[in-house]
């Protein structure tokens, strides 16, 4: 059963501008260490940073909470399988919220171009 869906779209330049202005302080606010390390290894990290931002927003929308007191940036992690398939790992508040909502799984799909990044999330119960 589908308990919630979320979608988010963001301009890559918004994330690139914030990173240029605030550096790793900005990244550490919205991403976990493994996410930062993965993105910064790439030739052009901007689209990969932006798509993780969009995915976290989409997760928060699937839960119906937004990013805030119940669900923080670091409660959500976007990882990749060896095949390249993205998946969501929940931590702390994210795990508690999944349990309260009686969720079984989160499904995520990511897309990005040089200018836009988007994500869709389905919360399965």
Give the catalytic positions in this structure.
61, 112
Burial of 84 (0-12, 13-18, 19+ CB in 10 A): exposed
User: How big is the CA angle at 90 (ends 93 and 58), to the nearest 5 degrees?
Assistant: 95
Tell me if 72 sits within 8 A of 19, measured CB to CB.
Answer: no
Q: Helix H segments across 1-125? A: 12-22, 24-30, 33-41, 46-63, 93-100
């Amino acid at each position: 059963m589908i308990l919630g869906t979320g979608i988010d779209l963001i301009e890559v330049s918004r994330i690139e501008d914030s990173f240029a202005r605030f550096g790793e302080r900005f990244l550490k606010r919205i991403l976990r260490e493994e996410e930062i390390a993965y993105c910064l290894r790439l030739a052009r990290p901007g689209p990969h940073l932006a798509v993780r931002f969009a995915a976290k927003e989409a997760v928060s929308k699937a839960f119906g909470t937004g990013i805030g007191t119940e669900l923080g940036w670091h409660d959500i992690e976007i990882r990749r399988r060896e095949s390249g398939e993205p998946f969501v790992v929940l931590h702390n508040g994210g795990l508690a919220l999944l349990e309260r909502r009686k969720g079984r799984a989160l499904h995520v799909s990511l897309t990005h171009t040089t200018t836009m990044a988007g994500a869709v999330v389905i919360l399965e119960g």
